[in-house]
Structure 1
Amino acid sequence: MTEFLPNSAEEVLETIQWAVSEESPLEILGHGSKRGIGQPLQTEHTLDLSRLAGITLYEPEELVLSAKAGTPVAEIVAALREHNQELAFEPMDYGPLLGGEAGRGTLGGLLAANLSGPRRLKAGAARDHVLGVHAVSGRGEGFKSGGRVVKNVTGYDLSKGLAGSWGTLAVATDITMKVLPAAETETTLCIAGLEDAVATEAMATAMGSSAEVSGAAHLPEGVVGRFIDGAFSGGGQTVLRVEGFGPSVAYRIDLLARLLGGYCTIGTLEGDASRRLWREVRDCQPFADGTPAPVWRVSVTPSRGHELVDAYRRAAGANVYYDWQGGLIWMRMEADPEAEILRKMIAHFGGGHATLVRAPLAVRAATPVFEPQSPALAALSARLKEQFDPKGILNPGRMAFT
């Protein structure tokens, strides 16, 4: 196997042009923190972008940052913190869940996986914050899309189109992101002892209020002890985050407490304790246990998630917790993933999709990791692939199952 380690965008272009001419597929990597997601690849060559790193432009007053694709997200977060700014969609770090180190994800991987975190229900995902990209297609052609200003989108925005493509359409070399001011402070309201169905009602009430909740999760009794070193007691916890200026946060937390006071025992987490909790919710901390036990990331209608979990548990064992007001369910299976059962249940309970995030190699190879597409959407995806990578040079088969 040959490992290509380009130092510049020009060398990336040359490498892909060579691969096209030789019809020799490439595995595209940053630091490999998400390498375990998707179908296993069998390629002779690897294109490693880890040397293509560094912040190339940062204008705090314009809320814009540009960096090379191999730049660690941790480096970007640190630079933003110095100016009290952040990536508002708080991208997940898959490293620990997949048995790797924290802080190894790169900007290119962030875009390719369209990462997000608990604040997605308010701020969206990576595709909603990318402003521009320089990239090389699977044809060996360089192109750019978007720019370095917030209002710069006309026509079809290719930079957003690459989000969630997992490196199968093009290789980004430089990316420009919108950044936002970080909140002055945050507080999390914690409601103890709610069953899943009641917690779903409480989260819906909170999200429908004027409290401007930026995070809503339910941590059932089976997993709650694995958050913040077991600090919670009294059964499951339903947690609601409020961010902003101190007086405003205090007022909105009081509003929520009065609104939800009839449910059960209420407490709060302040400042650093709150931030730690939401990092652990974001990064699937309770299931980052060093095992290859199957973990699914399931997106459903928020009001139906608890019904799906209840039904699935009647068929197979699983440990779960809920994010995005119940619309995102993290499921750790006790046995091999029952993909067909799970996906039929998702369709029954209002629709959605499921991604197998972690599993042994043999299981990944035998399971449709990403949600199978409808015939119409599959045909559209095939046409898009034909336009960008007709010879299947980039991450061949990673998102496909045959």
Structure 2
Amino acid sequence: MKPETEAELAEMVAGLSEPVRIVGGGTRGVNGPGAVLETSGLGGITLYEPGALTLVAQAGTPVAEIEAALEAEGQQLAFEPMDHRGLLGTSGTPTIGGVVAANISGPRRIQAGACRDFLLGVRYVDGMGQVIKNGGRVMKNVTGYDLVKLMAGSWGTLGVLTEVSLKVLPKPEAVATLAVHVTSAGDVIQALSAALKSPFEVSGAAFDPQVGRALLRVEGFSDSVTYRTDQLKSTLSAFGEATEVSDPAELWQGLRDVTPFHGQAGDVWRISVKPTDAPEILTRLEADQTLLDWGGGLIWARVPKGTDPRARLGAFQGHATLVRAEAETAAVLGRFQPESIGVQALTRDLRARFDPRGVLNPGLMG
């Protein structure tokens, strides 16, 4: 099923006699029911006001189309949505609906916020085929219940997105990245934390153990970037000499898309933790390969096929999400961190309200 309009989608959902797997651009390789409901037919930017920093697009609009329109006006999606194709070995086209449904957010999240923080409004079809609108198309609209943020990260289990309204931001005039060579995980976290706690507005803080570099990004007006970069070099001097890296855009795109893992065998997990807990988590993981982002608060880990990192980690403050694995492993371990009893009850009640028939991506989130 591939509707071309919101009304057609609503009619299809209302008439469902079996559960469906919702697919946007087909880049995520999510498992589910055999019946597929595609949203890629709902495409196009319906409103773009650069002066108001506002863009509205249908859910099936390719992210590349949106980024091209923003680039022409010197603007950007500040939350840097990841392109999963290289990591997952998939094809297809990333869509803005898929980005919002999974709340995909890149390295700049530590400064600018997540995808959900840039959502102004949504339109979606619930599990009964009703069209729901929440939020607005402008930043001053704050009325009503905040279903906007609830839909971000719900993975299509509460409704099928048809349109999203987003706040956009100007692209920075200049970008600089500093690299400091460090060895121990403890020193890495201290270095990244020192930079993030400084007043110099770091917009990226990552570490690739394969090359042993802590990476810090600074963005803004040219004179400001030059000053802040110089000050950060002094701040980081206790950890070693900080040097500027060439091609920072390519570097951060590679970090965003977890390029070091591309073509490497094994399962891939995404682990969110307190940055100060990262060294202990890395020790428990015993992963084949890791990559740290968000100042150490996000750990990408590549482990042998079928490995259960949650068992290795035990109890910890955070959550581990399975990003890439064979269907059998995903079926056994589950994609998402198991919820507590209280959260399970809340989730169950929400789904009963939004999708009482259980036809939208059943079983995906537990």
Q: TM-score, normalised by structure 2?
A: 0.97
CA distance in 2, matches of 1:56, 1:65: 8
1:356 is paired with a residue whose SS is: strand
Structure 1 residue 266: Cα displacement: 2.3
Q: Is 1:249 the counterpart of 2:225 in the alignment?
A: yes
Structure 1 residue 343: Cα displacement: 4.4
Q: Is 1:61 the counterpart of 2:61 in the alignment?
A: no
2:280 is paired with a residue whose SS is: helix
Query: Which residue of structure 1 lines up, in the alignment, with residue 341 of structure 2?
Result: 375
1:249-328 alignment to 2 at 5 Å?
249-270=225-246, 273-289=247-263, 291=265, 293-313=266-286, 317-328=287-298
Contact between 1:196 and 1:218, CA under 8 Å: does it hold in 2? no
Cα–Cα, structure 1 residues 195 and 343, in superposed 2: closer, same or farther, change >3 Å?
Answer: closer
The correspondence for 1:190, drawn from 179, 189, 208, is 179
Query: Which residue of structure 2 lines up, in the alignment, with residue 109 of structure 1?
Result: 98
Contact between 1:194 and 1:264, CA under 8 Å: does it hold in 2? no
Structure 1 residue 111: Cα displacement: 0.8
AA paired with 2:40? S
Q: Is 1:33 the counterpart of 2:27 in the alignment?
A: yes
1:10 is paired with a residue whose SS is: helix
1:383 is paired with a residue whose SS is: helix
Query: Which residue of structure 2 lines up, in the alignment, with residue 397 of structure 1?
Result: 363
CA distance in 1, matches of 2:37, 2:9: 8
CA distance in 1, matches of 2:195, 2:284: 26
Structure 1 residue 96: Cα displacement: 1.2
The correspondence for 2:141, drawn from 138, 142, 152, is 152
1:184-223 alignment to 2 at 5 Å?
184-220=173-209, 223=210
Residues 149-187 of structure 1 deviation map (CA, whole Å, 9 limit, x = unaligned):
102123421121111110111001111111011101100
AA paired with 1:214? S
Structure 1 residue 214: Cα displacement: 0.4
CA distance in 1, matches of 2:129, 2:269: 35
Contact between 1:118 and 1:281, CA under 8 Å: does it hold in 2? yes
Cα–Cα, structure 1 residues 185 and 396, in superposed 2: closer, same or farther, change >3 Å?
Answer: same
Contact between 1:339 and 1:367, CA under 8 Å: does it hold in 2? no
Q: Is 1:46 the counterpart of 2:22 in the alignment?
A: no
Contact between 2:135 and 2:144, CA under 8 Å: does it hold in 1? no
CA distance in 1, matches of 2:145, 2:13: 24
1:216 is paired with a residue whose SS is: strand
Query: Which residue of structure 2 lines up, in the alignment, with residue 12 of structure 1?
Result: 9
AA paired with 1:286? P
2:177 is paired with a residue whose SS is: strand
CA distance in 2, matches of 1:14, 1:104: 25
AA paired with 2:348? A
CA distance in 2, matches of 1:290, 1:41: 25
Contact between 1:297 and 1:331, CA under 8 Å: does it hold in 2? yes
CA RMSD of aligned residues (A): 1.4
Contact between 1:193 and 1:265, CA under 8 Å: does it hold in 2? no
CA distance in 1, matches of 2:344, 2:364: 15
CA distance in 2, matches of 1:187, 1:240: 8
Structure 1 residue 134: Cα displacement: 1.1
Contact between 1:69 and 1:106, CA under 8 Å: does it hold in 2? yes
Q: Is 1:98 the counterpart of 2:88 in the alignment?
A: yes
Structure 1 residue 335: Cα displacement: 4.1
CA distance in 1, matches of 2:310, 2:150: 29
CA distance in 2, matches of 1:374, 1:341: 16
Structure 1 residue 336: Cα displacement: 2.1
Structure 2: gaps spanning 5 or more residues: none
Structure 1 residue 133: Cα displacement: 1.0
Structure 1: gaps spanning 5 or more residues: 225-235
Structure 1 residue 51: Cα displacement: 1.5
CA distance in 1, matches of 2:291, 2:299: 6
Structure 1 residue 368: Cα displacement: 2.1
CA distance in 2, matches of 1:192, 1:279: 20
CA distance in 2, matches of 1:154, 1:125: 21
CA distance in 2, matches of 1:30, 1:176: 17
Say how many residue pairs are matched: 366
1:336 is paired with a residue whose SS is: coil
Contact between 2:305 and 2:325, CA under 8 Å: does it hold in 1? no
Contact between 1:168 and 1:395, CA under 8 Å: does it hold in 2? yes
Contact between 1:118 and 1:216, CA under 8 Å: does it hold in 2? yes
